Amino acid sequence: MNSLLELINFGQSYWLDNLSRDIIKNGKLRQKVKEQGLRGVTSNPSIFNKAITNSSEYDEQIKTLSKDGKSVSEIYEHLVVKDVQDACDILQSVYEDSDGADGFVSLEVSPYLARHTKQTMVEARRLFQAVNRPNCLIKIPGTIEGIPAIEQMLYEGVNVNITLLFSIERYEAVAEAYIRALERRLNEGRDIEKIASVASFFVSRIDTLVDQLLGHRMIPGEDPSNFEIPSQLLGKIAVASGKIAYQSFKKIFNGKRWQKLLENNAHVQRLLWASTSTKNPEYKDVIYVEPFIGPNTVNTMPEDTISAFADHGKIIENSVEANLDEAYRNLQLLEKVGIALTRVTQQLEDEGIQKFIDPFAALMKNLADKHLLGIPV
């Protein structure tokens, strides 16, 4: 059996980290859902920049919106809301069959709002209302400024995909925010069974930066045994961080507080593995898929990673809990060689925000050009 189709038997859903009008209109997205076990879709500013810039499928709508006097930001919002609505409709059957546990499509607030709590809440409410689908997740960065917005939106009934999580401590903070939001609703006698959230822990980028810093502690051409610790940690810290984050997940969602919520039909906030494509060509192309299989998890993958895992990926039951001693030891060794993981994850968060701002700004410019030129065809 295709490894992708088997994942659900081991407690994991796989989602597609890509969304475009092309795959909606040509039937590829529906095919993936119906025949290949796809259970969700994620998007971000970079994905929409590529989708809208590289396709003519949006031109007619842009032209109409331009004639209606819409601003560039309004045009963008109309375009992405339409795609998310259509994708939600395709995944509606998955949402219903899973009793609201799966079948979601994510739409991100502006990356410019990552450090602004109130503005994030305003935009999250507007986007969620605009999409008007129960299986829509609004992506909010798990920054310090994002945490109160995340809690408030969940309390108000907005489904949230918490993005840009790199540290175990920040993951724990957003998981607690989810529980607080549900508790607030329950204490007021409000329904909690339809509130949904995932916490997106980014993995490959951790290794990209940490490997670079480990390289600063090694001398090319010299005997690798002279740098035993740095060399043995290459490509190991992302997996270690994810595995330990999963241990935090198990602890948070097994206590007395969670049990009370569970008795009132709450959905668990699943850990979602994001940034799972392999950045280093020397590493296995499924290095961020195979070690993270376990109950109540999601892996969102780009097309290439999905194809690689379908072709030769191996499923090991509950691999996310394998070799935990090694995971803890590797993080201790990282500190021993002088690399503070807290500083690494803060840098990754800052860089992550910028990595979304850049394509978002480029997309706004491209839309402005099309808007002014009346869509060159």
User: What's the pLDDT at 171?
Assistant: 98
Average pLDDT in the 107-129 region?
Answer: 98
Record the tokens describing residue 255, joined without a space: 């206590």
CATH for 3-204+238-320+349-373? 3.20.20.70
Q: Is a pLDDT exceeding 50 seen at residue 351?
A: yes
* Cβ atoms of residues 53 and 363 within 8 Å: yes
CA distances from 32 to 5, 6, 228, 294 (A): 11, 14, 44, 22
Of the chain, the percentage scoring pLDDT greater than 70 comes to 98
User: What's the pLDDT at 234?
Assistant: 97
Record the tokens describing residue 93, joined without a space: 């059957």
Distance from C-alpha of 330 to C-alpha of 332, rounded to nearest angstrom: 5
Domain extent listing, the chain = 3-204+238-320+349-373
Record the tokens describing residue 194, joined without a space: 């339809």
State the pTM of this model.
0.95
Of residues 369 and 371, more confidence is placed in 369
Q: Catalytic: 139?
A: yes
User: What's the pLDDT at 376?
Assistant: 43
- Residue 59's pLDDT band (cuts 50, 70, 90): very high
* Cβ atoms of residues 317 and 291 within 8 Å: no
Average pLDDT in the 349-362 region?
Answer: 97
User: What's the pLDDT at 227?
Assistant: 76
User: What's the pLDDT at 374?
Assistant: 52
Mean pLDDT of the chain: 95
Average pLDDT in the 352-357 region?
Answer: 97
How buried is 98 (Cβ within 10 angstroms: 0-12 exposed, 13-18 middle, 19+ buried)? middle
Which one is catalytic: 139, 236, 243, 370? 139
Q: Which of these ranges, 2-11, 32-41, 79-88, 223-232, has the smallest mean pLDDT?
A: 223-232
* pLDDT tens track for 261-285: 999 999 999 999 999 999 999 999 9
Other beta carbons within 10 angstroms of residue 177's beta carbon come to 26
- Residue 371's pLDDT band (cuts 50, 70, 90): low
Other beta carbons within 10 angstroms of residue 74's beta carbon come to 12
User: What's the pLDDT at 373?
Assistant: 52
User: What's the pLDDT at 110?
Assistant: 97
User: What's the pLDDT at 375?
Assistant: 47
- Residue 377's pLDDT band (cuts 50, 70, 90): very low
* pLDDT tens track for 285-339: 999 999 999 999 999 999 999 999 999 999 999 999 999 999 999 999 999 999 9
* pLDDT tens track for 163-206: 999 999 999 999 999 999 999 999 999 999 999 999 999 999 99
